[in-house]
A and B are shown apart, each in its own frame.
Chain A
Amino acid sequence: MKDSDDGFSKKNLQRLIDGNLPWEEVKKAIRLSPKDANRFTKYLELLQANVPWDDRILLRISDHLYIVSKEKGGRIVKCDCGQELGDYRINWKLSCRIYVRRTDEEMAEVITIPEARHNTDLVEMREFYCPGCYALLGVEVVPSGYPPMFEMLPDIDNFYREWLGSPLDDESKDWFQDKTLEKPAAWMKEG
């Protein structure tokens, strides 16, 4: 229905997500002003329908990863394959399987032009895989010893309360805290 679509249909949104919305339609979407106010709702409905599990999606943070709220409480990062990667306040990369390209040969597998490759004296290429489906979730090119980068810590409570006008029932000041460092601390204890 036009009214509920508010200028951009759910059907087209799905095609946009799938990467096969025709360019002419994409341009209309880009020019759409004002944007369809209910986009996020439509987005969540489609995403929820596309994943094989039932945890409520609060936010999508990459092609495969979602922040979901668990029945029994808690908000975690979950891969669409069902694999869970822990509390969203802890960098999900620390719950991945990790492979590091340190040599030119290893880099060559993904950068076939030698001149374009990274200088392995300076940096390494880290790949973060989902332990469930082994999808490549993230890539970093940094010096060894560089702390893994926490791509995004959303302020979910304020987002739902102030911007969407539909506060979540498990609100807490504590949700917008970077807890990444608790993980290495725990690992340290475990020894």
Chain B
Amino acid sequence: MGICHQDRTLREIVDEREQSFKDTGCAYGLERLELVEEDPAKFMRFQMRLVASCINARESAKLISANPMSMIQGELLFMLANAEGDVVSASYGLAGHIQCMPFIVRNIAKLGFEDDPGIHEGDIFSVNDPMYGPPHNADCYTFLPVFYKGELVSWTVGLNHIVDVGGIQPGGLGVISPNVFTDGFTYPPTKTGANFKQHKWWELHWKRRTRTEMFNVLDDKMRAAGVVSLHDRIQDVIEEFGIEYYRKGLKEIIERERRILVERIRTLAVPGKYTYLQLSAVNYKGTLGRLWPASNRNWIIHKTGELNIRTDGTLLTDLEGLTSEGDFHANAYEPAVRMLTSLGMWPMFAYTETINSSLLYMTDWNIPPGSMFNPQNPYAGTVMGLGVTAGYIFLFHNCLSLAYFSRGFLEEAFPQDGTTIGYGVAGMLEDGFQWAGGDMSLITCQSEAATPFHDGIDAAICSPNPAPDIGETEAVEFLMPTQVNIGKKLIPDFCGHGKFRGGLGIGMLQMVNKPGRSLIINAFAATDGMGACAMGRSGGYPGTNDIVVFAHDTNIREILENGGTYPRDFVEMKEWFQQGILKAESVESFKGPTPSIPCRDGDLFATAAGSKGGWGDVLERDYDLIEYDIKYGWITIKTAETVYGAKIDENGTVQKEASDKVRQAMREKRKERSVDAKDWWRQERERVLEGGWHEDIRNMFLDCLKYKKFRDQFLGMWQLPEDYSL
């Protein structure tokens, strides 16, 4: 006898959920929405009650946390699911996670949790193992069953991004991990509490398996407090509306929202096939030596995708051609793909008062087995698979923006690029005190890309969170006193250019201050010298690269003691080196993630992210916009001339006639140095036949050619024989 409605087992209702949709094309086979039709006002009130409950659970619980990511930067979500696992409402925060809960519930159903360990009132469950639903182990889930008169009617869920996961690299964004054993503290679904309280033994795991026990323990308390208070509120809602209404209402929410989403696509888009590509890298060569021979190499990650907008208003995303699974940290499972990519769907068509998992019912994916998002090796490392799945957030931003542009809804076009930087730190202070931390300031707030009608807004978007917030330096330094921020600013010229330009990238410069006995920093970034997006928009230049620069053993202390000043970003820092004002024993520059870098007092550590693409031809940029940029120093005079062909006089005004001439000359230059497509093709074909690629690129092609779709394209484009091999 099961714990669900009419004594069915969890396994049974989960299967029914999938079957009924297959059969009818409607969620839960709901061809009619009776509650909605009967009294729409009441239904709206019902939905708003659920949302308000989630928001409140988050707003009150988050205060318990010690973790700036959840507390200030909002990397935290509370949500309500029905018994089957469909999420029907959620708080502010990492909205995408609603996609994962149905997978988690399906998994515990299939694992037979109902019999062992059993699912009872007051039980608390925890999971962060990506194989069972969570996107990566830094995102820890705590969930609680809601029973009504012995019937399982809901789950209340809380999750947040913790500071350190106890992997081989400090922080929660490790970029080196050959397999699950080096990912850090990864726990499958576990019953960690009873009677609405976590067991004491559970605390020990945070203390022993992660570097930041205090944060992680408080975070765990925060999640537990949130799901318990949400549980109590939901009981009240059930009392008020009645269990019948509640049970049925949750299902109607999903079907109703599904219909709205499909209608939005049909209203705003144009059906067809749209192409997307971003390239990034995983560079292990030389860092792992003989310990993991299979990992002692580099990979170029081929983030290819095709969005099919179908005539029925649903979406199919085809990932054939995606890089194969590997002995690295970047593998992921379907929930992670759906979780993060939904963040590209909220702004484009899934915005609603009531976040829910109806997206699952109108988005299909083709993820080939053996590709990095469908690993066949059960021990695949996934600690930072999100770094790669995040690339696909922008597939939806870009492909749908083009579709909306074609349809005439320019105001909804909102293309974005994958740029982002975070870092983890770990160290031992002078007195032997061990500590660790991490910072996501440049992940939780970036500048926007250009749209078809205006420049990207500075510091206005966070790809993984609808509510951007760069946080407070004073709060971050309180937790990471060994790095003093001496600059946190917009960086001139740091954007993809175009008729409309991307917002300016944001850069931070930090001075290492009294690290004590040891300090290591490892940065995570979204690009690897191949840009934020492989394709510009309407002739605009795509976003550029994330930047990390370490300057070791500098003379900055000396300069400051002598009453001097400091550089504010990596651009100034480099100029100062050139001018000899600033000296360093060694400088390490990265256009992407870094290995763990030891730092000493007086070292300088620069990060910069958020440089996103432009829209349209640079030579069509309005002179007034250029003058505005010059006035505020957003664009340098040099760039205004070389990139935009605008002559600026000493007052910072554009000399229009002179500029028109420059632009004409630049068009002439385009004419001179460009060739006809056919000639280009002939030359390019020669190169392909020569095959003189960089080893990493060569490996990428070798891998991609295993997949028919890419192979056909490649062979067809270069007219190569069927038996062609590199």
Contacts and interface: CB of A to CB of B under 8 A. Distances in A.
Is any CB of A less than 8 Å from a CB of B in the complex?
yes
A168 interface: no
A150 B275 contact: yes
A100 B680 contact: yes
Tell me what chain B mostly uses at the interface: helix, strand, loop, or mixed.
mixed
Highest count of chain B CB atoms <10 Å: which of A19, A162, A185: A19
- For chain B, the bracket of interface size reads 35 or more
Contacts of B611: 116
Interface string A172-188: 00001010110011011
B696 A122 contact: yes
Contacts of B488: none
B48 interface: no
A5 to B, nearest CB: 13
Contacts of B318: none
Interface in B248-274: 266-268, 270-274
Interface string B650-685: 000000000000000001001101111110111010
B418 interface: no
Nearest to A162: B311
A13 to B, nearest CB: 7
B622 interface: yes
Contacts of A21: 453
B412 A61 contact: no
Contact of B544 (A17, A99, A117): A117
A97 interface: yes
Contact of B687 (A134, A145, A185, A190): A145
A144 B408 contact: no
A116 B544 contact: yes
B414 to A, nearest CB: 10
B667 A134 contact: yes
Interface stretch (B123-131, B430-438, B528-536): B528-536
Contacts of A63: 452, 499, 538-539, 615-617, 620
Given A140-B535, A150-B275, A26 B671 contact: no
B370 interface: no
Tell me what chain A mostly uses at the interface: helix, strand, loop, or mixed.
mixed
Contacts of A153: 272-273
Interface residues of A, number: 82
B495 to A, nearest CB: 9
Given A19-B454, A109-B643, A145-B693, A139 B406 contact: no
B677 A118 contact: no
Contacts of A49: none
A60 B406 contact: yes
A66 B253 CA distance: 40
B402 interface: yes
B26 interface: no
Contact of B408 (A30, A42, A64, A137): A42
A122 B618 contact: no
Given A43-B408, A63-B616, A140-B536, A112 B643 contact: yes
Given A40-B408, A59-B270, A110-B643, A139 B541 contact: yes
Nearest to A41: B408
Highest count of chain B CB atoms <10 Å: which of A61, A96, A185: A61
The 4 lowest CB-CB distance pairs between A and B, nearest first, are A43-B408, A119-B529, A139-B536, A181-B716
Given A39-B407, A152-B275, 9 more contacts: A112-B639, A116-B547, A118-B529, A139-B539, A141-B533, A144-B688, A151-B275, A163-B270, A180-B717
Interface of A: 13, 16-17, 19, 21, 26, 29-30, 34-35, 39-40, 42-44, 59-64, 93-100, 109-119, 121-123, 127, 129, 131, 133-145, 147-156, 158-159, 162-163, 176, 178, 180-181, 184-185, 187-188, 190
27 contacts: A17-B453, A34-B267, A40-B408, A44-B408, A62-B538, A98-B674, A99-B674, A109-B643, A113-B493, A113-B571, A115-B549, A116-B611, A117-B545, A123-B279, A134-B671, A136-B539, A137-B617, A140-B536, A141-B535, A145-B684, A147-B717, A152-B274, A152-B275, A184-B681, A184-B716, A184-B717, A185-B719
